[in-house]
Structure 1
């Protein structure tokens, strides 16, 4: 889409015999000097900047029929049938800027996710193992976004994100969550042989997408896949049980359960030698302390 066009116009002398030359803006006759643009003629003082009113005759200017500008200002200085024109100073104040290089976009641009880019700036940001940038032009290519960056399919699939571009063999499969197929060029998340749309691969508690994020998987058994639940890291911490010994949440690692209580593996230890008991044999003393088998035998021998 052409946002703006840079043009120029020159001053022209009116022949004394031509008395029918009419200014396209004010409708008055042009008696001596005129300027022209788009097959229309103007008084030099009528051919002016839509913002500051400075004459544009005899020099370069920018014009656009679709650039956003204050409507009241345009109506007061410009005909509804006229394109909006700017001198270079005023154009810099309103011109769209490239979301990548931040420089003004003077001609055509690429619009992606409500952002505008120079065509030369909208390229794949992928980098190979040697540090060489891909820089493939993405104007007419499928775009795979990640963290406000954009990649071509080849570079995106090389990223270790848990999300990949749908390959041909995946197109025949259906999303485990919504049971809909994957469109060519769409993104897909895979977990243990099941495929999901990234918007369907969500935390079962807060419903936020866990694609390309850390998550926890819960299931009652391997045979009950339908009851499997995914939790994002925040929800997992909220639901985690409290260690009876240290009172902190048991977020990761193996938990030890005994008499309806839960412990970090490192917290479930012998009160005498302070070694982890784990799943080994142990004994509980009358005062509620746990002793590993060796310490319990030693204690009994000392009491004899």
Structure 2
């Protein structure tokens, strides 16, 4: 008696018939397609054993059904895109969905390098500096009057120049006498310390810190020889002036008894000042 070779599912004989082995078990074509064949995304029919099964992200198509949703051109062995689960050739996708370059107005093809800024898109080669026309790419840029500039061109065209070093001021400058300075360039004329953020005054148009101004230009007290810090616009120390000589209030005392002479009458003996009582003894 001949050995039987039947379909694992329907038990019909497979001798002389086409069949498919799945998980080491034989199936007739009808049973295999009913149990295991994928359904085509386009025509919704099973993809039989005699058809080529094309798959993409767990979805399946007959070879003839694998075409652009918009223009119907075959996509087999061609680049394609998807939108809302629909297959599209690159041309249709670009026409329907790709952004247009803000500069040349042409479509930016899928996969092309592009730059996006403030809701607009450019081909990478079209996003250029307004002045030098070189592509900006991934470099820093500065917008100005609806145009974009690379940093060096912006500094050359628009940045203020420091009156001391003549280089562009790109951040945090100082204005003195209506002119721009770098903070690092705005220094005391005397000690060369930075003046930004501290009180200062000037002499003949040159800026000085308070210490240097007092040391160089302030009047000296006759008694203690220390500067009397009286500087224009910054307030004045209380002092006494007599015959082109000056004293701090605290230093304006009788030479002999050291009593304060502020607000009192006094006498002089050569370069000394004396209270009236001590003056009578001279």
Larger CA Rg, structure 1 vs 2? 2
TM range, smaller chain? 0.3 to 0.5
TM-score by length of 2: 0.39
